[in-house]
Amino acid sequence: MIHAETDASLPLAVDGIDKRYRGGVHANRNITLSAQRGEMLGILGPNGAGKTTLVRQITTELLPTSGSIRVFGVDVAADPVSAKNLMGIVPQEAQLFEMLTVRETLRIFGKMRGLPSADARRRADELISDLRLNEHGDVTTVKLSGGLKRRVMVGIAAIARPGLVVLDEPTTGLDPQSRRDMWGLMREYKSRGATILMTTHYMEEAEALCDRVGIISEGRLLALDTVDNLKSSQGFDFKITYSANGDGASTRTMYGKDDRELVERARAEGIRQFSLTRTTLEDVYLALTDTDTPNT
């Protein structure tokens, strides 16, 4: 049995966070979550749900209106400098010194994070290779494509091997091969004991990578669990899709926990032709974030 870590050693503990922006937007509402060592958490949610707001409070860029956040026991609001030193951060938008080359960028961030010069050099070269940036090592960052900039940002975050890595949509805009490379890299960090929190809009990514997935909508954390538990807690292990009037024009869906019971239900309703499949994370996500259904 794995014992839960004490609060002080938890890589991340978010407790009752509320964030109201000055303009009045209530972007986070009473969000509580924590991450264990070596755990990868995925945060999903529609545009404007409050994912970046949450991330920016964890990374000390924004102050919560109320609630607290601790990173390895350090309160991020009380001691942002120490907290930041424990984290690697990949913001949603790339922020690079345009006139520096990729190699220079990584070396400088390495030194800023306290690595001795020789280590910073070695680490920069290692990351250039890991991130498949070999052809671009001596190119100034202003000349890089969006996807390549994103890879450099991941390199900066990983430079000092932080215990907690926080990434806001790290794979948005990456080509499929680069996305897989990024997955490989994150799995490697994780296997070395790093804790990872990432936001993403890609269901298959969350499903493939994350130990637990949180779903945020309108500032609230609606659910946080393993993908399997999310499916079954919604009564959603299986689904049947069928054509409502037999012409294939209007497809309807029925969900259920048990495949046989679901098939019986469909037959009882007189549905002759249907397809039975396992539900995906996307099904759960769409059901939870459907704001047309009244929310209590």
Ligand X SMILES: Nc1ncnc2c1ncn2[C@@H]1O[C@H](COP(=O)(O)OP(=O)(O)OP(=O)(O)O)[C@@H](O)[C@H]1O
27's contact among ligand X, Mg ion, none, with CB below 5 to 8 A by partner kind, is: ligand X
Query: How do beta strands 74-75 and 195-199 pair?
Result: unpaired
Dihedral sign for Cα atoms in the order 173, 175, 177, 178: negative
Using CB under 5 A as the binding rule, whether residue 200 contacts Mg ion is answered as: no
Using CB under 5 A as the binding rule, whether residue 60 contacts Mg ion is answered as: no
286's contact among Mg ion, ligand X, none, with CB below 5 to 8 A by partner kind, is: none
Query: How do beta strands 87-90 and 164-168 pair?
Result: parallel
Phi-psi region of 24 (alpha: psi -120 to 50; beta: other; left: phi over 0): left
Window of 40-48, 100-108, 140-148, 156-164 that interacts with ligand X by CB under 6 A: 40-48
Q: Which two tokens stand for residue 194?
A: 């790093």
Candidates 3, 4, 23, 270: give the one binding ligand X (CB under 6 A): 23
Q: How far is the CB of 27 from ligand X (least distance, A)?
A: 4
Q: How far is the CB of 295 from Mg ion (least distance, A)?
A: 21
Dihedral sign for Cα atoms in the order 42, 45, 51, 54: negative
114's contact among ligand X, Mg ion, none, with CB below 5 to 8 A by partner kind, is: none
Binding to Mg ion in span 87-126, by CB under 5 A: 92
Q: Please answer whether residues 19 and 67 qualify as being in contact, where contact means their C-beta atoms are separated by less than 8 angstroms.
A: no
Which residue lies nearer to Mg ion by CB, 28 or 52?
52
Give Rg (Cα) of the chain.
22
Q: How far is the CB of 272 from Mg ion (least distance, A)?
A: 45
Q: In degrees rounded to 5, what are phi and psi of residue 209?
A: -105, -40
Q: Which two tokens stand for residue 155?
A: 């390199």
Number of residues that bind Mg ion (CB under 5 A): 3
Q: How far is the CB of 28 from ligand X (least distance, A)?
A: 8
Which residue lies nearer to Mg ion by CB, 55 or 160?
55
Q: How far is the CB of 153 from ligand X (least distance, A)?
A: 15
Which residue lies nearer to Mg ion by CB, 52 or 217?
52
Q: How many CB atoms lie within 10 A of CB 21?
A: 12
Site string for ligand X, 46-85 (x = CB under 6 A): -xxxxxxx--------------------------------
Q: Note the Cα 5 to chain centre separation in Å.
A: 22
Looking at residue 126, what DSSP letter applies? H
Binding to ligand X in span 274-293, by CB under 6 A: none
Most distant CA pair in the chain: distance in Å?
Answer: 73
Q: Please answer whether residues 231 and 279 qualify as being in contact, where contact means their C-beta atoms are separated by less than 8 angstroms.
A: yes
- Rounded distance, CA 171 to CA 175, Å? 9
Q: How far is the CB of 35 from ligand X (least distance, A)?
A: 19
Which residue lies nearer to Mg ion by CB, 50 or 110?
50
Tokens 């299986």, residue located: 238
Using CB under 5 A as the binding rule, whether residue 52 contacts Mg ion is answered as: yes
Identity at 270, one-letter amino acid code = G
Number of residues that bind ligand X (CB under 6 A): 13
Residues at the interface with Mg ion (CB under 5 A): 51-52, 92
The residues of the shown chain that bind ligand X, judged by CB under 6 A, are 21, 23, 25, 27, 45, 47-53, 92
